[in-house]
Amino acid sequence: FMITSNISNAVNALNQGELVAIPTETVYGLAGSAFNEHAIDKIFQLKNRPTCNPLILHTHSIEEVLKFVQYIPPAAMKLAEAFWPGPLTLLLPKKSNIPNSVTSGSHLVAVRIPNHAVTLSLLQQLDFPLVAPSANPYTRISPTNAKMVDDYFGEALPVILEGDICAKGIESTIVGFHANIPVIYRQGAISVDAIEFIAGKSKVQATKKEKVTTPGMSPMHYAPKTKFCIVDSVLDFIYENRDLKIGALTLGKLEVNLPNTTNINLSIAADLEEASTNLYKSMYDLDGMGLDCIIIEQFPEIGIGKSLNDRILRASFR
């Protein structure tokens, strides 16, 4: 088994109904043929994911997408043209060639064209689209490099396609439509503002602690095993809890150096895009250090900061 840069290894494995980890600009995906029931089963099994949680279809062009969906509403087409290839997932009415096991019985299929040269090339070499959830066991942190995928699955996943660190670092933004009005089911690498700039006013499905209304809105997602807390002030928390082994994720340099504290700076320049690239990997690294807790302050509620806040909020649910 291996982490490989050789796309033909992935093509061969996928043609044989095997699974392959693929790099995308958001997170790594656990991919299989969308037209192979056996491969679809294996995805759910390997992730230990409930089969009621549907999969995103990945392909390489709008022309291809039209083979799998009945139509693309005008607002969706505007978004597709603005953001594909890119971290946008559209919920569209599926054609009958898409198996119900992909959509968990829904008449809507989630589709996206990922913006990653390796995976676009792979998709162009296949006769079928790929279904790919994030390549993590259910409820764990999504992987943003090949090594994390290997740590999670080891020999159970023989082919991991190397694609460096995921540039965006958080999942795609999922958008559905009610009468041509965009409904944002998952905030992600494209900000709500950017979606609205192209497609007009949207409705955002809020993240709620108690209620799970839609697939993809499961609150227990992206969680480290270590206790994860959103705090008002990282500095205050550290000073008030000197007996604890603390992992602190910060935006900018932490002006304190205590022996019990491990600091990872998500972006020296406090840049939200850079913080997004680094967030999951940093959470994962701290999670492996046997700390008492991981702390972080809310991100500024602007642009992609809202999506990052959604993720850290979910990570803090127990």
Burial tier of 219 (Cβ tally within 10 Å: 0-12, 13-18, 19+): middle
Q: Which part of the chain contacts Mg ion (CB under 5 A), choosing from 105-113, 128-136, 194-202, 265-273?
A: 128-136
Interface pick for Mg ion out of 134, 144, 191, 226 (rule CB under 5 A): 134
Q: Is 307 in the site for Mg ion (CB under 5 A)?
A: no
Q: Is 173 in the site for Mg ion (CB under 5 A)?
A: no
Backbone φ/ψ region at 124: left (φ over 0), alpha (ψ -120 to 50), beta:
alpha
Closest distance of CB 110 from Mg ion, Å:
12
Contact 55, 132 (CB under 8 A): yes
SS3 label, residue 29: strand
Backbone φ/ψ region at 224: left (φ over 0), alpha (ψ -120 to 50), beta:
beta
162-221 residues near ligand TXA, rule: CB under 6 A: 171-172, 174, 215-216
Residue 59 interface partner, choices ligand TXA, Mg ion, none, CB cut-off 5-8 Å depending on type: none
Q: Is 65 in the site for ligand TXA (CB under 6 A)?
A: no
What the block records as the tokens of 169 is 């670092």
Q: Which part of the chain contacts Mg ion (CB under 5 A), choosing from 51-59, 127-135, 144-152, 199-207?
A: 127-135
Q: Which part of the chain contacts Mg ion (CB under 5 A), choosing from 30-38, 44-52, 97-105, 134-142?
A: 134-142
- Residue whose pair of structure tokens reads 């299989």 in the numeric block: 32
What the block records as the tokens of 228 is 């994860």
C-alpha triplet 291, 296, 298: angle, nearest 5°: 160
Q: Is 59 in the site for ligand TXA (CB under 6 A)?
A: no
Which residues of the shown chain bind ligand TXA in the complex (CB under 6 A)? 24, 26-27, 29, 53-56, 87, 89, 91, 103, 106, 108-110, 112, 114, 132-134, 171-172, 174, 215-216
Binding residues (CB under 5 A) for Mg ion: these are 134
